[in-house]
Structure 1
């Protein structure tokens, strides 16, 4: 019960902190947020990391000096005979145990890692948004049926939140089978209850705002108030969570690939899978594992810094 309360309280706290954001004029709010982000060192560093990561994922594979899946180098088949070769001229990161250029595989792996993180986050966002909007609307509109529906949805959400995220992702991946699509779905399922509860909490926070009371006094229908006023003004914490979830999705996707639940084709470079392949060489050749590990850490740090900076910029208690 304490696990459920802890997770749920953190999510509700984020919704509460951003709950009054929508009461200001939209244009001025986002202009002020952008101005605060421009002066935030944390936001600048996070944005720089994210931009570099995105650019590398787009153009990196085109700039790769060698075929990342080819087990040859300059015409020689397996020149390292099953051993890792460290950095040298022509191979900045060296060759892996199958003679594949590590630098080329890191560039191609950037695209695979970004694809998994973005798709998984979109799955969690879309499904969680729909569930959270339904629950929040039911709770806001009131009525016996609405309250029952909201309670039922939130109890299921609390059950999912009670499960450790990695354990839930592993369970889903084990049921669906080994594939890259499975990793995306499994990580996306973990994100669904977070987005659902966050949006629902934000909508409840907005339900008591002055503009909602004013609309009710003017005779505007409750459903119209929910759709046109409460829901749009409840999106700020969801936007923040989306940025933070990208970092979590990348780490969890790498963990699933490391556990052997990712792409069954080992020739396709993906940072989590590359960690798995480097495991048996770690004691003698740690660099083979250091490259993908550092990539995962830096990218996750970039999204986390950007998300935290965005949260602080949107926090009404920190805004002047």
Structure 2
């Protein structure tokens, strides 16, 4: 004999599956089918995959060491004499005679690392705050309402400050380092994930499977954590893809402002862009290459995230 909790879990799964079924497929299967037919999703996914591939295998793809000043005697920054693209240096040389292509390829890893870690930090802390607030709201008790109000007022205070300004403030307090950039950008993303998850959980609280579980006498805490929370993560995961694009741009902005990695020899697109500002007159390509890389990568994540959001939007289902 199965326990009442197991029967309720099975009933909730069946009710949720029936509510999400369309033309014989679940919502995730339909979303994936729409993504495969969406040119925007294909373009975004291709860009993201290329970026990840370069970031992971960049150390082996780079023809030269990104810190070796092998052609230092050919560059004269004081006289605006730089070496442009040529056979042995596809993107030319920087102001210290280092191969620009190698630095771009290896720098992708640092950019990806900062974006992923910052997004995971914002997602984790934001999910804890938003999940706690959403669960407290779903419990419907007086203490739960108070907890929800306190957490959301804290989130509103963070949302009142522009994300980049909040990241700059955190980075200025913690000092100049790569870890500081990750923490600062992650903190700026916390209220977005918290608000989104709380709203999704409140929306799920009125679904049929929740009402059925309540009618069967299941504990409210179990309903909130076992049933409502897992069914509310879809929009949050989509937001994570969009946040990666924002995290990459914000990390580059912090590095540009001099709050990133204090070691200028370590290649990172934001740091490279900041260093190139001194030589715009003689070598504008030093700023163009990292700027284009940041724009294209952020655009890829944005296209993929927007396509995922549209594919999961119930109003667009046919």
Compute the TM-score of the two structures, normalised by the length of structure 1: 0.90
The 1:81/1:284 distance shift into structure 2, 3 A limit, reads closer
User: What residue number does 1:288 align with?
Assistant: 286
> Partner residue of 1:24?
20
1:125 shift after superposition: 0.6
| Unaligned 5+ runs, structure 1 | 1-19
1:163-178 map, 5 Å = 163-178=161-176
Equivalent position to 2:96, from 59, 79, 98: 98
How many residues were matched structurally?
Answer: 298
Larger radius of gyration: 2
Which runs of no fewer than 5 residues in structure 2 stay unpaired? 1-15
Q: Which runs of at least 4 in structure 1 moved beyond 3 Å after TM superposition?
A: 20-23
**After alignment, is 77-86 or 168-177 more displaced?**
77-86
CA distance, structure 2, for counterparts of residue 45 and residue 80 of structure 1: 38
Residue deviations 1:132-176 (CA, integer Å, cap 9, x gap)? 110100011011111111001101101100101110000000000
Retained in 1: the 8 A contact 2:67–2:266?
A: yes
Cα deviation, residue 249, structure 1:
0.2
Q: Residue 123 and residue 317 in structure 1: after superposition, are their counterparts in 2 closer, same or farther (change >3 A)?
A: same
SS in 2 for 1:216: helix
- The answer on whether the counterparts of 2:170 and 2:184 sit within 8 Å (CA) in structure 1 is yes
The alignment yields a C-alpha RMSD, in angstroms, of 1.6
C-alpha distance in structure 2 between counterparts of 1:21 and 1:128, whole Å: 27
CA distance in 2, matches of 1:21, 1:120: 34
Corresponding position of 1:149: 147
Shift of 1:89: 2.0
Aligned to 2:118, which of 117, 120, 125? 120
In 2, Cα distance between equivalents of 1:318 and 1:282: 47
Shift in Å at residue 25 of structure 1? 5.3
TM-score by length of 2: 0.91
Partner residue, 1:230:
228
Higher relative contact order (CA 8 A, sep 6+): 1
- Counterpart selection for 2:73 from 55, 72, 78: 78
